[in-house]
Chains A and B, each alone.
Chain A
Amino acid sequence: MRPYLAIVSARTRMLLQYRAAAIAGFGTQLFWGWIRVAIFTAFFQSGGAAQPMTLTDTITYLWLTQALLLLLPFRIDAEMQAMVRDGSVAYELTRPADLYWYWFSRQLAARVAPTILRAGPLMLAAGILFGMQPPASWLAAGLFLLGFLCALMLSTAITTLMAISLLWTTTGDGLARLLSLVAQFLSGSYVPILLFPDWSQPILAVLPFRGIMDTPFRLYLGTLAGPEAACAMLHQLLWASLLVLLGRAILARGVTRMVVQGG
């Protein structure tokens, strides 16, 4: 456990040094969040019928998206990319810790600090300036935190999978990118899942990706409560576990392949 914690704290310290980038990123996100809200507001005002989500809820949802944007499996940390590319990944095999969990905690570390550092100020600013609502209740807030943790695991499992697929160079690279795009799109970061066409809802309900954003957000809004909430979090954890197992299996294949080919 300790080596993994050490990794997280070292990365956090490194990330704290990038002050200009942090401020710039924060400002830009406020700006684009504002734009997104304007777009959706205009849509709501144009459409007449009642929608699966209210405008107020949608606005909060959009700000949550900005706040937790760094939770998305955008990309694998660049260091890892370089490492796999130039073959020094072979050194990773000599480390005493289990390789999968070592990579997992790296991805986790790369995600946790920036996400939380960005989320706090953004939610505060959005709440004060832009009409973002607080959680529906204390229960909702608690469930949101739980859902966030599960989402973190899920997202990390996906990025770890992406990292592992890099062992297959060109094909892996393409697959990783594809996975990343699909995950982002179907997580609710572009459009709240419920606002997607009605016919797509059953499919989206089964896929793992909504667990990254949509699930914790609806917990926050209180629209996902009681037994449904528990179900949703179970869904997150189930998929996370599945992806972890898949990742471990593929990594084992990849390692054998590398060892056989001599890196």
Chain B
Amino acid sequence: MAAITVENLVKTYTVAERRPGTWGALTSLAHRRQREVHALAGVSFSIQPGELVGYIGPNGAGKSTTVKILSGILVPSGGSATVLGRVPWEQRIAHVAQIGVVFGQRTQLWWDLPVTESFDLLREIYRVPPDQYRRTRDELVDIMNLAGLLDTPVRQLSLGQRMRCDLAAALLHRPQILFLDEPTIGLDAVAKLAVRDLVRRLNREQGLTVILTTHDMDDIESLCTRVILINEGRILLDGTLEHMRQMVTTERRMAIILADEATWIEVEDAQVLHRDGLRLTLSFDPERISAAQLIGDISSRYAIRDLYVENAPIEEIVAQIYMDRTA
């Protein structure tokens, strides 16, 4: 049975329009004009238990609206959604007891209190039985390496530390589904890796269903096998990363570190994309020339220090899809 089923979800907002200038302001006092915003225009998908799904799209695409509806905060204008057998907005309290939500930029912990007191308060709020709580908490503290942080007031934590604590806090009541909204935003490289690692572990070891909304494509690449792409309230794509790549292009990239700055590389079947000192990026189509052939070709003709092959960056793939599908 699917963990989450969404069918034809629609959400429309009416927004009051303000007229510019002083005269506009005065007339607005008497009569307000309104316009409709279609945040979601018919979204459908289903997610099985244990999946780790990336939910991506530009700003204003409808990502946060979907997450709000699925978490029970918002009531849709049309369509249906079922999470763990419940309609989220109709059974709010029963529903939120089964899910965890982490917002990247806002902490749910109490600012002035030590982390452990926030955890205790959450135990009370979620009505977690004391033994279960202790076990879960100790487990999470262990996995996320929080032992040294427990007595520190939240306001003194670094962003990376806070994110780990927020992650633990969201899981204290052992939810089956976790919604992560921009969890790595603003984090340094080390912290990002730590968070990704944690999420991966929780998904693999505990079968936690995770829905991840993010702008960071590295998050997606390292964590998600399945990606749902939304733009302007509609789903553009729902499939694996590979599928997404292949849809757009078979292009691959090769990054070369030259031994000598003066070297100029010219290869047929490959195009120089950009050059920055000793570093050079080539673009090629593996259907015309294989990576192996290209490597052999270049290394025999030029003095190079290093090279590696990579895929076209996801951002470009995604941008291409937007352009193709929404034009």
Contacts and interface: CB of A to CB of B under 8 A. Distances in A.
A12 B29 contact: no
Interface string B1-36: 000000000000000001001100110110000000
A9 B25 CA distance: 12
A16 B25 CA distance: 6
B22 A19 contact: no
Nearest to A9: B22
A46 interface: no
A17 B25 contact: yes
B22 A17 contact: no
Nearest to B27: A16
B121 to A, nearest CB: 28
A13 interface: yes
A231 B29 CA distance: 42
B18 to A, nearest CB: 7
Contacts of B25: 13, 16-17
Interface in A1-58: 9, 12-13, 16-17, 19, 22
Interface string B34-59: 00000000000000000000000000
B33 to A, nearest CB: 14
A19 B25 CA distance: 10
B32 to A, nearest CB: 8
Interface in B250-267: none
Nearest to A15: B25
A13 B149 CA distance: 49
A229 B25 CA distance: 39
B28 to A, nearest CB: 7
Interface of B: 18, 21-22, 25-26, 28-29
Interface of A: 9, 12-13, 16-17, 19, 22
15 contacts: A9-B22, A12-B22, A13-B21, A13-B22, A13-B25, A16-B22, A16-B25, A16-B26, A16-B28, A16-B29, A17-B18, A17-B25, A17-B28, A19-B29, A22-B29
